[in-house]
A and B are shown apart, each in its own frame.
Chain A
Amino acid sequence: MMTKEAPDEFERWVKEKWGASKLPEGGVVPYHSAYGYKTGDWSAFKASIDKEKCISCMNCFYYCPDAAIIMDENMKAECDTTFCKGCGICSKNCPADAIEMRRVTR
């Protein structure tokens, strides 16, 4: 997966639950993109893609609101679980019925 890591400071701030005196002022986040926010751990469902059935139409790729669908080297859809929030839009829009939403158990 192409996930880039957030800077140490941000990782520590989240892990250690920093308070008012340590956090940057004014809610500024010293990081520039969604790469640092692993929104995938919010989800109750995950997209499970059957690459045999995938017809490479890329519907799921375009419909995914979190850009969590990645096309692999064979142009088959793949789910980036680090960012998949489990909304199921890809599954609804798949003409080949290749995407199944599976409940995540933690």
Chain B
Amino acid sequence: MSGLREVTGMTGDEAVAYAAKLVNPDVVAAYPITPQTIIVERYSDFVNNGEVDTSFIPVESEHSAMSACVGASLTGARVFTATASAGLALMYEILYVASGMRCPIVLAVANRAFSAPINIHGECTDQMVCRDASWVSLFGESAQEAYDETIMSFKIAEHPDVMLPTMFGIEGFIVTHALERVETLSKKQVEDFLPEVRSTKYRFNPDEIATFGSLVLQDYYMEIKRQQEVAMQNAYKVAKDVMAEFTEMSGRTMELVEEYKLEDAEYAFVSYGATAGNAKAVVDRLRNKGEKAGALKIRLHRPFPTLEIHEALSGIKAVSILDRSATFGSPGTILQTDLASSLYGKEDVPTLHGYINGLGGRVLTLPEIEEIYEKTKDYHDVGMTSTTDWVGYRSD
């Protein structure tokens, strides 16, 4: 890669749209929903201006959007769509069809809180509840990561050993609408990175007759589902390779998990998405005070990078899990239960302290994160191995 980098100011949504423009997918079927709207608006501009070769399908709902994507993907097309919150919930049925029929669709999610009460702001619950839909799932911290993950997602999804749809999330408004510095790639770089035509094993084709979406009952269903689990396991390795390749191509480090000052840390934050940026800022503050703090950002949420996480967290005393997603009556926050399953029974594992925060766009300030840090230390000191709290709300 040359020493010269092109830099532009873009919001998270624009970054996704411009990255998708470089990919130039064959079909985009999308329905606008705040805070994803700008992705669809910008992309329809590109289509209108003839800057891309995409067939743009303006559908009447997200259920139709994902259905159109599945149909298009089965013809062997490269397909992209975007949604948020209620839109993702409406797609939910077809998410399983897309993964079950092995359609490597790429979906950008502008993470937003669920109704009711109706709210348009950032929260990752929408994407988190799709964790069992057999979709590869990534989170991005910034507009830059939104840009990069858009391009990487196609390569992960379309790998012949994976062939699973891939979604990546950026938090509503916090990332989607914030203007940031984005290092862009050239058309040539993306063309060299992504194969021109995506691979297909089976597709609608007049010359190769096949039945798609057939009824599969007790005698074969489990075998077909097991194939998806194998593909998910492959996706773990493929994602790792794709990120390594992307790092080399772009000069920006991309890993399944990002470690920040963890080498000698005693206490750490674990987070994903935009919260990870705040966690890192707090780590710097705490380090200045002489605390041995560190942070771990989880980029790949499905398949869950258990090995990397265990490696990164072994030897740490206690972790504070900053989870910007809601779950009720659960034994821990969504990320905490995943971490607990990953680490249970292993050597040198930290105690886990989950904090549900930032729901509906509520700001989690840096001093609040410092308080969380102190709280975790206290919990650890009195011997509590796993706790779950809600933080940043008024109780009276």
Contact = CB atoms under 8 A, between A and B. Distances in A.
Contact of A32 (B209, B224, B227): B209
Contact of B220 (A25, A27, A30): A27
The prevalent SS among residues of A at the interface is loop
Interface stretch (B20-28, B210-218, B278-286, B325-333): B210-218
B226 interface: yes
B346 interface: no
Interface residues of B, number: 21
A39 to B, nearest CB: 12
Contacts of A31: 209-211
A10 B396 CA distance: 66
Contacts, number: 55
A25 B202 contact: yes
B216 A25 contact: no
Contact of A29 (B101, B214, B226): B214
Scoring A18, A25, A27 by chain B CB atoms within 10 A of each residue's CB, the highest score goes to A27
A19 to B, nearest CB: 5
A31 B209 CA distance: 6
Contacts of A18: 223
Nearest to B209: A32
Given A25-B202, A27-B220, A20 B230 contact: yes
A1 interface: no
Scoring B201, B202, B219 by chain A CB atoms within 10 A of each residue's CB, the highest score goes to B202
A20 B201 contact: no
A26 B227 CA distance: 8
Interface of A: 17-21, 23-32
Given A28-B101, A32-B210, 16 more contacts: A17-B219, A20-B224, A21-B230, A23-B224, A23-B227, A24-B201, A25-B202, A25-B227, A26-B100, A26-B101, A26-B102, A26-B224, A26-B227, A28-B214, A30-B209, A30-B210
